[in-house]
């Protein structure tokens, strides 16, 4: 089952997004609820990937149980923070940018494009920030290790 999901994850994600957009078009009053369901589904998919990655490292003996749980919780909290930030920022920026558009379909398409671009931007920002934090922590650990002998 996991192999099937990994192989077709891009196609499944695109189909879910299209289904979500069609449902929003057909049921505009339920838009917030559908958006929350979509975000929750995205979080579950990302979470299962994180758990599988760290679980495999734990089974291979590269991580202790504590380190595995810690890494999973840190990754999931970072993903949740990024999803919330992207959703809020996308909504406000798309609302501001599409305020002057009167045609409903054009406004919807422009809002979706702007929301996706802002979401991608937030994702890139969070990834770069996490990479910078990881490099900084590694540098601090290396520098500190020169002054103090630590048990590994």
Please say if the pLDDT value at position 139 is more than 80.
yes
Instruction: Give a yes or no: residue 152 inside a domain.
Output: no
The crossing angle, in degrees rounded to 10, of helices 104-147 and 65-97 is 140
Give residue-wise pLDDT tens across range 64-116: 888 889 888 988 888 888 888 888 898 899 899 888 988 888 888 898 899 88
Asked whether the beta carbons of 54 and 63 are under 8 A apart, the reply is yes
Q: Is 23 exposed, middle or buried (0-12, 13-18, 19+ CB in 10 A)?
A: middle
Q: Which residue has the higher pLDDT, 26 or 107?
A: 107
CA dist 41 and 138 (Å) reads 33
C-alpha dihedral sign at 46, 79, 144, 151 = negative
Instruction: Give a yes or no: residue 31 inside a domain.
Output: yes
- Average pLDDT, integer, range 125-152: 79
pLDDT of residue 75: 87
Mean pLDDT, the chain, integer: 83
Instruction: Give a yes or no: residue 56 inside a domain.
Output: yes
Q: How many domains are contained in the chain?
A: 1
What is the chain's length? 152
Give residue-wise pLDDT tens across range 113-123: 998 899 889 98
- Pick from 33, 9, 10, 31: nearest CA to 22: 31
pTM above 0.85, yes or no: no
Please say if the pLDDT value at position 132 is more than 70.
yes
**For residue 90, what are the domain limits?**
2-147
The set of residues, in sequence order, having a beta carbon less than 8 Å from that of 108 and lying 6+ positions away, is 24, 25
Instruction: Give a yes or no: residue 133 inside a domain.
Output: yes
What are the Cα distances from residue 72, in Å, to 46, 51, 66, 77?
A: 11, 6, 10, 8
CA dist 117 and 139 (Å) reads 33
pLDDT of residue 151: 55
Instruction: Give a yes or no: residue 105 inside a domain.
Output: yes
Instruction: Give a yes or no: residue 41 inside a domain.
Output: yes
């Amino acid at each position: 089952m996991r192999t099937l999901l990994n192989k077709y994850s891009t196609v499944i994600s695109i189909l879910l997004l299209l289904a979500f957009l069609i449902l929003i078009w057909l049921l505009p009053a339920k838009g917030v609820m559908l958006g929350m369901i979509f975000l929750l589904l995205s979080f579950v998919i990302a979470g299962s990937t994180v758990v599988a990655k760290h679980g495999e490292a734990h089974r291979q003996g590269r991580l202790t149980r504590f380190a595995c749980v810690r890494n999973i919780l840190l990754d999931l909290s970072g993903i949740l923070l990024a999803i919330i930030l992207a959703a809020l920022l996308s909504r406000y920026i798309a609302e501001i940018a599409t305020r002057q558009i009167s045609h409903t379909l054009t406004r919807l398409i422009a809002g979706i494009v702007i929301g996706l671009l802002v979401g991608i931007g937030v994702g890139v920002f969070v990834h770069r920030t996490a990479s910078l934090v990881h490099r900084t922590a590694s540098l601090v650990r290396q520098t500190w290790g020169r002054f103090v002998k630590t048990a590994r």
